[in-house]
Amino acid sequence: MKIEGKKAIWSEYQKEIADDRYFYVRSCIRQNFFPGSEVAFLRIMREELGKDVYEHPCHTTCSGIGYHGDVVPVETAMTVVARQFALMTEAGYKNYVPSCITSFGLYTEILETWHHFPEVEDKVRVQLRKATGREFDIPDNLAHASDIIYKFRKEIAAKAKYRLINKNTGEPLKVVDHIGCHYAKMFPSKGVGGAEYPYVLAGMVEELGRRGG
């Protein structure tokens, strides 16, 4: 493919990522398998970058695994997610940041469904109101935790104690990244680089591997 064509495709897969004031929701799996990853994310965001990252004590699982496993009905999953959005709204935040890739895919799917079928959103609002008495606003911005790190990759790299380089040669390490399918393939336009040129992880590695950084 000609470079012009690649640039055109790449430009289609850029996304808006908020600068600050994030409503962060943890992953029911990630915090058990890789608890240090969420601890590191919060430390980087709050202590190194000075960002406002809020966690609500009443946050629950999004039910995404149950939904994708055909155990949880879609309207139930939507109502659970609507409650999460209500917690965000009550806390005064508008930028929603899930830690989990499956959650990111589910939130994206639900927001897309509500966008095209507003009557479904109205039904979920009624269900949430009856069940909890809560109301919610749609997030202004939805970004996975890796999107946030990608956005601030240059600032993070500038603070890095170690570089991703071969200590003997000084050459950048050659790294193979793995992009979750619920991030890149379900809705390619919602992920940095989409399914064709996924770059959210490669961009971080590239920045941390620069010489003299």
Note whether 93 and 54 are within 8 A (CB). Answer: yes
Q: What is the pLDDT of residues 37-86, one digit of tens each?
A: 899 999 999 999 999 999 999 998 899 889 989 999 999 999 999 999 99
User: What domains can be seen in the chain, in order of their start residue?
Assistant: 1-17+157-213 (no CATH), 18-142 (1.20.1050.140)
Q: What is the pLDDT of residues 126-136, one digit of tens each?
A: 999 999 999 99
Query: Which residue ranges in the chain fall short of pLDDT 50?
Result: 1, 213
pLDDT at 186 (0 to 100): 73
Residue 20 to residues 40, 64, 156, 179, Cα–Cα distance (Å): 17, 26, 15, 24
- What pTM did the predictor assign? 0.86
pLDDT at 213 (0 to 100): 44
Note whether 207 and 213 are within 8 A (CB). Answer: yes
Q: Is 15 exposed, middle or buried (0-12, 13-18, 19+ CB in 10 A)?
A: middle
pLDDT at 34 (0 to 100): 84
